[in-house]
Structure 1
């Protein structure tokens, strides 16, 4: 069962997540000389990343990457890379090594081999993967009814190009295999609607119905959940 952390507000949860991440990264640097972190995009992670950017770490020994990315220009408001650069890779944290999920290929499918090669250079297993969860139970860019979902759940590759069922952009995503190649999985759940989806996912059922179950229902990687009312 995941370890749950319950908070009244999203900002309180975000501050606690950032502190927990910083502690694990610090321990990893002390133990192995480096640390690694993969983060999700969207609105919820921004406060976490902003708080984390102020952490007193040797950021030159930290590798940061993304869980998934929209295949858009790096300066697009919809780019997860832009979010990470604006919210996390500031001040001392700018010294971190960042491995993007977007390259100059015309589309995600032709760009995937280069992304896969870049991800192969990461220090697996990653120390922390910070996942999000959508109202439909998707995590990373592994969507229910997505045409690439089955491949994303069984492939031994680290990344996969995907076209969400209802979304304006192609995506690049970690596969389930990559997500489970981590020492810690963190998931942020905010609001009553997502709490209901989380409870349903935790109760059991097919992973392809609610892909977040790929993390919640496994026993190999410890999972921590931060739940807030807002």
Structure 2
């Protein structure tokens, strides 16, 4: 793990967008296609605003979320809506989107269909993750109903997840798939999350799921 500090979040997002574009470009030098997996939430929006303009052969890039709330894609709580509005635009509009949501009452009804689209594009070439103050990443939440399954080395690609304080079901890439990414970046903002990240190093993976994806990762932090 490599911990990188920045003086402010604006500089971090610009630098990280450049690093991710460089990672994708390097992957595309020796592969026909490259898969980019990104989080939703409030943190990555500014990074997406920079990354979407990168001069890349985006038509050879598959973009997917690391996790999604099981809500319609026009909901303000939809991570899909976020990436459609802020990442899959400008030059990046040429990328192919691999969905993590399909219209159904529960994620279990659609997991085989969604996994079938993702499986041929693995491993992830470039992964971006965030982290919550509770030390979750993607939808790997401490105390979630299927956390054990999601952390298992033999886990499926996707795991449905229901967690305390999460108002709707979610679907998440398993730790096995996330940790198998060829390049991994974790972005953290603020002292509270830095303190949580440092505390995570002394806890089990079940109590601090972020630990399941840190091997070989670059961790980017700004106050």
Partner residue, 1:190: 189
Any idea what the Cα deviations from partners look like across 1:146-188, whole Å, max 9, x if unmatched?
Answer: 1111111014311001112111111010001111221011100
Partner residue, 1:225: 219
Alpha-carbon distance, 1:111 to partner: 2.1
Report the secondary structure of 1:64's partner residue: strand
Partner residue, 1:61: 60
Report the secondary structure of 2:180's partner residue: coil
Any idea what the Cα deviations from partners look like across 1:167-223, whole Å, max 9, x if unmatched?
Answer: 111101000111122101110010010000111113x3310011001112x4xxx20
Separation in structure 1 between the aligned mates of residue 22 and residue 80 of structure 2, nearest angstrom: 24
Alpha-carbon distance, 1:21 to partner: 0.2
Separation in structure 1 between the aligned mates of residue 48 and residue 184 of structure 2, nearest angstrom: 16
Separation in structure 1 between the aligned mates of residue 148 and residue 161 of structure 2, nearest angstrom: 11
- After alignment, is 24-33 or 77-86 more displaced? 24-33
Report the secondary structure of 2:209's partner residue: coil
| Residue pairs, 1:138-217, within 5 angstroms | 138-154=136-152, 155-202=154-201, 204-216=202-214
Partner residue, 1:108: 107
Separation in structure 2 between the aligned mates of residue 167 and residue 45 of structure 1, nearest angstrom: 20
Alpha-carbon distance, 1:14 to partner: 0.8
Separation in structure 2 between the aligned mates of residue 115 and residue 205 of structure 1, nearest angstrom: 33
Report the secondary structure of 1:121's partner residue: helix
Partner residue, 1:136: 134
Q: Does 1:19 align with 2:18?
A: yes
Separation in structure 2 between the aligned mates of residue 27 and residue 185 of structure 1, nearest angstrom: 14
Task: Verify the 8 A CA contact 2:2 2:219 in the aligned structure 1.
Answer: yes
Alpha-carbon distance, 1:56 to partner: 0.5
- Aligned-pair RMSD on alpha carbons? 1.1
Alpha-carbon distance, 1:72 to partner: 0.5
TM-score (norm 2): 0.96
Task: Verify the 8 A CA contact 2:205 2:211 in the aligned structure 1.
Answer: yes
- After alignment, is 112-121 or 147-156 more displaced? 112-121
TM-score (norm 1): 0.93
| Equivalent residues, number | 222
Separation in structure 2 between the aligned mates of residue 114 and residue 35 of structure 1, nearest angstrom: 21
Partner residue, 2:93: 94
